Chains A and B, each alone.
Chain A
Amino acid sequence: MKDLTFGTLIAVFEEIFGRTLFWAMVAAAALITIAYLWVLIRDRAVSWHKFLLAQISMPVGAVAAILFVLAVTDSGLGDMGGPIDVIVLLAVALAGAVGMAILVYTVQSLITGKQPPRGGPQLKR
């Protein structure tokens, strides 16, 4: 490929998804990431309870991402032909897993609101 610059890559992605959808997805990913960082900072700590649920959701995200990619590209698992294919597939799975985990964690944190400090008012019921 000639001149594979960042600009070219952006142009190609814009064409794959359409300009609006592509930038909407970038914005959504950015928002979720910001929200994630925000709840981390707000709560000053990772909540292991929420993190557990986020971890459990990871395989779901991984499988969903793989199924999505295979479906939109008319292909199947039997088409993996070499190491690079497996690497790409694992990368897709990883992206799906991490994305899902961040999403689940953030949504939980946003819904449950700010966690009071341990031993605080939440014990009162």
Chain B
Amino acid sequence: MSGRKLSASDRALRWLCAAAVLVPIAVLSSLLVSVALVGFTQLDAEVLAAVGGALRDSVYLGLLSAGLAVPLGVGAAIGLEQYGARATWAELLDAKVAVLAGVPSVIYGLLGLELFARALSSGRGLLAGALTIALLVSPMIFVASREALRGVSASQREAGLALGGTRWQIVRHVVLPMAIPGIVSGTILAVARALGSAAPLLVLGGFAAARVAPEAADPLAVLPVRIFSWIAGPAREGAGGNAAAGSFVLMVVCLGLHGLALVIRGRSTGPREAEA
């Protein structure tokens, strides 16, 4: 019997798996702790004001772009859902949008610059920023929504059909309620990702090319952009402290959003109480 040998390789595998789990956790928590330590020690009224302003801009931008992208991404996913598995063109569209969702975010910055800032001459304000971020996240929202909708089993849809439901009625009353947690968490993750990335707004805002330091008053001077300029810009007093505190806040916000998404996704779909 090779029982001993097997158990030895078994044990090795177990250690390997444990390491695979523990290493990222260790790295993440040490990162968190170090950023938190540095960030915390630097917090004073001035730093708080700078970081707070950037955070407020991030929230505005996040809300506005989500407001633009959610109807687009979720609406398109629901619209396609009605055609069910029958339409080949729906599958093609799926594949195209999945590719869009993989385009690096900096490209969206360039697109936004051309399309919104220059062609539509809407300037480089909040609207252009929100439109650009909306373009960036709506494919991700679409893909997440499609996945959530398709995750609803065929037997649920058949049950709806057998009760004399139309496709739309089934989507509305059976499929959508089951997919909502997945759609919401996917949306939160997409927006969190966009809020954390500086690249598209650095491009759009011209901060990267012209080496313009973003002013606090600039609506595009969101957290990651400010952090970038605090680190990369000409050394100014307080920049280091701002960067550390800003990173800490950004990390907390993003991790918080991810946590929220996890909670929503994990929540079983309880019944809605019958309202007469």
- Binding between chains A and B: no
